[in-house]
Structure 1
Amino acid sequence: MSKQPHFVPFALSLMLFSTSSAMGAEVESFQIPGREEIAAEYKWHLEDLYGSDEEWQTDYNKVKKMLPKVGEYKGKLDSSGKNLLACLMLRDDITKITGKLYPYARMHQDENTADNKYQALTGKAQSLNIEVNTAIAFIEPEIVGIPAERLEKMQKQVKGLGVYSFYLQSLMQQKQHVLSPREEALLSRAGEVAAAPATIFNVLANAEVKFPSIQDERGQEVQLSEGRYSNYLRSSDRRVRQDAFDGILGSYSQYRNTLAATLNGHVKQHVFFAQAHNYKSSQEAALMPNHIPVEVYDNLVATVNRNLTPLHRYVSLKKKALGLEEIHMYDLYAPVVKDVEIRISYPEALELVKNALAPLGEDYIADFNKGISSHWIDVYENQGKRSGAYSWGVYGVHPFVFLNYNGHFSDASTLAHEMGHALHSFYSAKSQPYPTADYVIFTAETASTTNEILLIDYMLAKTADKKEKMYLLNQYLENIRTTLYRQTMFAEFEKEIHDRSEEGETLTADLMEEIYHDLNVKYFGPEMIVDKEIDIEWARIPHFYRNFYVYQYATGYSAATAFAKQLQTEGEAAQERYTNHFLKKGGSDTPIRILKNAGVDMSTPQPIEITLAKFSQLLDELEVLLAQG
């Protein structure tokens, strides 16, 4: 099954680096190279998908011819197990092909976003996907309409249906939430209208909201943007931090009522669809289809709330380390260690990451090497290449990894992260049949983040330089703060506004600012000056338009921390569990059971508590080093 890409934001450096095609090393340059200047060994092999555009077109035509055959099974799935199996197999044959068609076009487009040919091909693939989804839309409602006893009998009579057993079981568990075909059709048609709030938000945030200019550290006037915001918040110049903070949030504040109405509309439509499908709450409606109990979400929030003291300590430490009389929200991202920059060339990063991932075992490293030698990765930035990083698993081929490697430690960490996704897809596809190879976001972020944690732990153990160690400790603490604490605060906000909406309240700008302000006061503690400007921050978070999504970053990081600890302390036993009971399981079971069988039980507070204990340990280490001066 084709995995949708996992995206990681890419922080653009003010200094651009290009590659020397002769040496493949990063060299300082103000010119971004053309794609033809990048050495072939640093480019992915999209020809592994299709040798030519003509081959792509052949498969495209094949799908178009297969689609009418799907309709021949409409209204007939309950007649026999053979019909059901034939229809599911035909659907899979079609989606295996479309799972190659779209990535081929899209990844070529990402190589050069100005390439009109692949823009057109991507659009063509997207349109085909819509045709496919329309053609197969009848399948799941018909399956749900089959009496449970009859469906069970079909599976016993037709052995080939065994591979679909978890899929069919999952569908039947949703039976009480599936309405009549006419009702489902009406709700489906309403989907485009329901998407309007998210569409409006995207237009507002990306096209209408205008950000001011500020002066950077050198006194040069620079235009603020969302992409530059995080860099300026990390500036060692407090004036720059505050100006960026005021500029970005002040700009959103000018649209506070419109943005409140937009988010209110989105939450209301989510509540409407949840109630229409007979869920107890919108939270349950978002979590249940992926087999995540509501208790897992609530347990995360409750556990973090019981452990806010270490975060308050961190705020206090940062205030002291930065020499501030008062610490404000715009100081939160400022590094406590200045003038430290870890530069790592790509070849050095490959060796570093492989050494760091040694706890995963020799087979994992061998497969990592196979990915490198088989050209899974597109490494360097080139003119027209889209920003960011992602991995994309394609069933029956291999994963692909998209980077814009720029020679920073964060780039090495991104390499580890994306190869974590890639090898998760590789092992799932290798070990699972197509219907159970795909995995959900809840587990996806665990595999990638485990690699990140192993890398930074390895770096901390390896470095003898005090300032470098302080820099890494600060980075590690920031990772946990922004991923566990911050995303859980977002999750708590999201649950609160949904609860209020379900109780009949209108989510006004005043109400949401009050909720968000109070959460910041609670999370960051008594020493933090919670500036009024932060109250509008909810208005710039796009993930609030993806229902109950952000908590998975926090649970994924917690599960990854627990796995990393086991891999570092238990050796081969942990390797075996992690590889065979997690990476190779794909989507063959519920994510909670997969993780539990691999050694991490996310239905309990333990993984979260392990992560919070790690935060406290790192904080202790940094306090000692800072005290030494």
Structure 2
Amino acid sequence: MKKKVIVSVAATVISLSTVIPLNVTNPAPTEAQETQQQPRYMTRAEIPAQYKWKTDHIYSSKARWEADIKKAELLSGVFKKNYQGKLAKSAAILKKALEDYSTLSRIQDKAFVYANLNADVNLTNPDLQAALDRAEKMATAVSENTAWFSPEVVEIPTKQMNKYLQDKSLSAYKYVLSDIIRTKSHTLSQDQEELLAKLSPLSSTGSDVYSRLSTEIKFPKITDSDGKEVQLTQTNFISFMESKDRNVRKQAYEAYYGTLEKFKGSFAQSLSSHVQSHNIRADVRNYKSALEAALIPNDIPVKVYDQLIHSVKKGLPLMHRYMDLKKKMLGVDELHMYDIYTPIVDAEEKYISYEEAQKQVMEGLKPLGDDYAKILKEAFGGGWVDVYSTDDKKSGAYQWGAYDTHPYLLLNYQGTKGDVATIAHELGHAAHSYLSKKEQPYLTSGYATFTAEVASTLNENLLWNSEYKKAKTKAEKMRLLNQRLENFRTTLFRQTQFAEFEKAIHELEQKGESINAATLKKVYGEINKKYYGKRMAADEEIAMEWARIPHFYDHKFYVYQYATSFAASAALSKQLLQQGAPAVKRIKEKFLEAGGSSDPISILKGAGVDMSSSKPIDEAMTVFEETLNELEKLINEK
């Protein structure tokens, strides 16, 4: 059976079972928030309960979780015993097998998510790590006992399968079965699938090593703009890079990448192991490449990936023009990579409390309608969100959940405008999961990551449009235009840059070349130079940036979808703002509620955007140019 993929960064496949009615009024602000300063918490125990997600909504006790762990293992064995070798006997048996598989998988997903969520907010807790290990062993056991399912479905004679697909009792599973058959040439024999399932834990070694290494590395202290010595961390790195004080930016940049450089061999070995596992699995499954193996199972044509890189490359002169504008506005003789995050338009950067951020997000997402607003209120008041960071919390942000839980959002909130956008982004995933689960049965409730990032970046687009509409002064407009250009740089351009890097190193490894630190630095450095232009200073440190991008280690060929989704969501947000209610209805019904009931390209086409062509990318590039023109116009006004 083609299993639902559970991912732990910025996307999810499943969502809420029953809504728990909770008070959604905002709690009283803390003293730190009254003075508009970022709360600082050393331990998780110090964080007020209203800022922590509630995993007891999943299991009220560890004993209940352990019971489900054992139940999943037991049911997987029963499933294999009851159905292996019998699927071709009748439509009734196949239907019952699909139903039992759904029951088993729902229990597995719920237990697995629970263990991961608890571990992610306390990475150094040995008991939680042990529980995570236990959950992973359970997942492996379930995988081993169900690995035979897809091969056996594929082996059902074509004539008989066609009858099954026309059988009314299997109508709810028609797309699921058709999707399994679609990848028939890449499905192995039952023995081979079972062996691959047993080896699956080894494929995560590179990711596990990276996660541990990233947690254990300690960065040095730097001197901030007030002359105070402060600790540099993964979480606050970008905040320092956005500093108006160039010396602070330079310190943070050199200290961060200088630290990564000391561990370059370990990072390279981790990434090399990850890439090798992708290429081996692709070869075993008869794919031409790891890229094809990543896209074809999700029904995404490889040409979508290639035309993204091609289209963005055509737009690089615009990117270089933007860098020239940055250099001019910052008034520097030479533009360095540590300069590119700082805003080129002076604006008062006030700390935005989490409560204020909620209000801004609610206001910005009004175009999605009242029903969508109800989901947002439930998220903010219903124990869905883990807000503040501690030293042993997983970095970054994501949304996750199981079919029988509500969505969960991990944040590391710092009170910046970017953090507000992150909230909107992750809520896009949460609402998508909530609505997909509400309207879809388990086996089609999961959506491909290709569509997942459309839901999230759609929210970011709407939030920006809300802010720009409210802007009253030239300074406000310039700041927002700068923000939009940065969104393009960090999403459309940067994620495509990452996608090109991923493709390059997989192809090198497939050719038999060593993926060592020197190779990775060379490949990354050359691609970075191409994207930022010859006039960017040749900072050697940036060649180590591949060591700080978790998606290179946690996933395979994932990041390109941020870029394609950015383009798709730009088109959909325009439709929402221009068409109103008809667009809300179409996007909700054809996209947000569709889950995985059809292929991603068809789902998005139904919502109103055709990603099988380069048109959305080209149109997005036009918007980038128009935004750049508008900012230059305002800058030149007297």
Shorter-chain TM-score: what band? 0.7 to 0.9
Confirm whether residue 27 of structure 1 aligns to residue 37 of structure 2.
no
- Kept in 1: contact 2:222–2:232 (CA 8 A): yes
2:175 is the alignment partner of 1:166: yes
Say whether residues 1:321 and 2:329 are aligned partners: yes
User: How far off its partner does 1:608 sit?
Assistant: 1.4
TM normalised by structure 1 equals 0.87
From 478, 493, 500, give the equivalent of 2:501: 493
Pair 1:566-2:575 in alignment? yes
Tell me how far apart the structure 1 counterparts of residues 61 and 199 of structure 2 sit (CA, whole Å).
39
* 1:128 counterpart residue number: 138
- Judge conservation of contact 1:234–1:333 (CA < 8 Å) in 2: yes
Within 1, Cα distance between the matches of 2:387 and 2:213?
33
**Could you report, residue by residue, the CA deviation over 1:196-221 in whole angstroms, capped at 9, with x for unpaired residues?**
444555555554x6655443333444
Alignment counterpart, residue 524 of structure 2, candidates 498, 503, 516: 516
Q: What SS does the corresponding residue of 1:391 show, helix, strand or coil?
A: strand
* Aligned counterparts of 2:122 and 2:212: Cα–Cα separation in 1: 24
Paired residues of 1:340 and 1:468 also in contact (CA < 8 A): no
Aligned residue type for 1:141: P
The CA distance in 2 between the partners of 1:38 and 1:505, in whole Å, is 48
Amino acid in structure 1 at the alignment position of 2:635: L
Letter in 2 for 1:442: F
Task: Identify the match of residue 156 of structure 1 among 166, 180, 190.
Answer: 166
Check 1:551–1:385 CA distance in 2 against 1; reply closer, same or farther (3 A cut): closer
Aligned to 1:67: 76
Identity over the aligned pairs, expressed in percent?
41
- Correspondence for 1:283 among 259, 271, 291: 291
1:555 matched to which residue of 2?
564
Secondary structure at the counterpart of residue 401 of structure 1: strand
Name 1:350's counterpart in structure 2.
358
Shift of 1:33: 9.3
The separation in 2 between residues aligned to 1:501 and 1:303, in whole angstroms, is 26
Helix, strand or coil for the counterpart of 1:427? helix
Is 1:592 aligned to 2:601, yes or no? yes
> Could you say which residue in structure 2 is the equivalent of 1:181?
190
Counterpart Cα distance in 1 of 2:218 and 2:381: 45
2:592 to 575, 578, 583: 583
Aligned counterparts of 1:487 and 1:2: Cα–Cα separation in 2: 22
SS in 2 for 1:226: coil
Q: Which moved more, 1:375-384 or 1:174-183?
A: 375-384
Which whole-Å CA distance do the structure 1 matches of 2:212 and 2:131 have between them?
25
Q: Which sits farther off after the overlay, 499-508 or 480-489? A: 499-508
Partner in structure 1 of residue 147 of structure 2: 137
What whole-Å deviation, never above 9, does each CA across 1:283-335 have from its counterpart, x for those lacking one?
A: 11111111111000001001001111221111011000000111122222122
The C-alpha deviation readout for 1:199-250, integer Å capped at 9, x for no partner, is: 555555554x665544333344445443343223222222232233333333
Q: Name whichever of 48-57 and 462-471 sits farther off.
A: 48-57
Q: How big is the shift at 1:424?
A: 0.6
Q: Specify every segment of 5 or more residues in structure 2 that has no aligned partner in the other structure, as ranges.
A: 12-24
Matched, 1:92 2:102: yes
Residue 594 of structure 1 and its aligned partner are, at CA, apart by 0.6
Contact map agreement 1:3 1:438 (CA 8 A) in 2 = no
- Distance in 2 (CA, whole Å) between partners of 1:206 and 1:377 is 22
CA deviation string 1:574-615 (max 9, x = no partner): 212211110010011111111111111111112212222222
Q: After superposing the two structures, state which structure 1 stretch, 374-383 or 544-553, moved more.
A: 374-383
Letter in 1 for 2:305: Y
- Asked if 1:422 is matched to 2:438, the reply is no
More divergent stretch after superposition (481-490 vs 85-94): 85-94
1:80 Cα deviation from its structure 2 partner: 2.5
| Match for residue 605 of structure 1 among 584, 601, 614 | 614
Give the deviation of 1:454 after TM superposition. 0.5
Structure 1 range deviating more: 43-52 or 266-275? 43-52
**Hey, what does 2:455 align to over in structure 1?**
447
Q: What are structure 1's unaligned runs of at least 5 residues?
A: 9-18
Distance 1:240 1:38, change over 3 A: closer
Instruction: Tell me, in whole angstroms, the C-alpha distance in 2 between the residues paired with 1:136 and 1:200.
Output: 28
**Counterpart-to-counterpart distance in 1, 2:42 and 2:517:** 46
Is the CA contact (8 Å cut-off) linking 2:307 and 2:614 kept in structure 1? yes
What CA distance in whole angstroms lies between the structure 2 residues aligned with 1:111 and 1:509? 30
Q: 1:349 to 1:20 in 2, by over 3 A?
A: closer
My pick for the range that moved more, 301-310 or 410-419, is: 410-419
**Partner secondary structure for residue 235 of structure 2:** helix
Kindly report which structure 2 residues correspond to 1:360-375, keeping only aligned pairs within 5 A, or say none: 360-372=368-380, 374-375=382-383
* Cα gap change, 1:340 to 1:576, in 2 (>3 Å): same
The amino acid across from 1:286 in the alignment is: A
Q: 1:596 to 1:160 in 2, by over 3 A?
A: same
C-alpha distance in 2 between matches for 1:403 and 1:110: 11
Q: 1:605 to 1:2 in 2, by over 3 A?
A: closer
Residue 100 of structure 2 aligns with an amino acid whose one-letter code is L
> Which one is further off, 87-96 or 42-51?
42-51
CA distance in 2 between partners of 1:206 and 1:381 (Å): 13
For the aligned residue pairs, the C-alpha RMSD in angstroms reads 3.4
Contact 2:444 2:595 in 1 (8 A): yes
Equivalent position to 1:460, from 461, 468, 472: 468
How many angstroms apart in 1 are the aligned matches of 2:184 and 2:113?
A: 33
Which residue of the partner structure matches residue 309 of structure 1? Answer: 317
The residue type paired with residue 613 of structure 1 is T
In structure 1, what is the equivalent of residue 278 of structure 2?
Answer: 270
Residue 567 (structure 1) shift: 0.9
Deviations 1:226-280 (A, max 9, x none): 3343223222222232233333333444555665565445434433332232212
**1:2–1:393 Cα contact (<8 Å) kept:** no
Instruction: State the shift of 1:457 in Å.
Output: 1.4
Q: How far apart, CA to CA, are the structure 1 residues paired with 2:546 and 2:464? A: 30
Q: Deviation string for 1:435-477 (max 9, x for gaps)?
A: 1001121111111111111011111110224434333322222
Range 548-557 or range 521-530, more displaced: 521-530
Shift of 1:510: 4.7
- Residues 496 and 412 (structure 1 numbering): CA distance in 2 closer, same or farther, change over 3 Å? closer
Please name the residue that 1:78 is paired with: 88
Q: 1:262 to 1:417 in 2, by over 3 A?
A: closer
Deviation (angstroms), 1:559: 1.3
Paired residue total: 617
Q: Secondary structure at the match of 1:529?
A: coil
Distance 1:498 1:184, change over 3 A: same
What secondary structure is seen at the aligned counterpart in 2 of 1:279? coil
Call closer, same or farther: CA 1:43–1:204 in 2, change over 3 Å.
closer
Change (3 A) 1:345 1:465: farther
Matched-pair contact (CA < 8 Å) for 1:20–1:27: no
Confirm or deny: 8 A CA contact 1:446 1:559 kept in the other structure. yes
Alpha-carbon deviations, 1:30-51, whole Å to 9, x = none?
Answer: 6639878877766655554345
Q: What amino acid does structure 1 have at the position aligned with 2:252?
A: A
List per-residue Cα deviations over 1:504-554 (Å, max 9, x = no partner). Answer: 444455544443333223211232223233233334434333322221111
Aligned counterparts of 1:56 and 1:453: Cα–Cα separation in 2 = 39
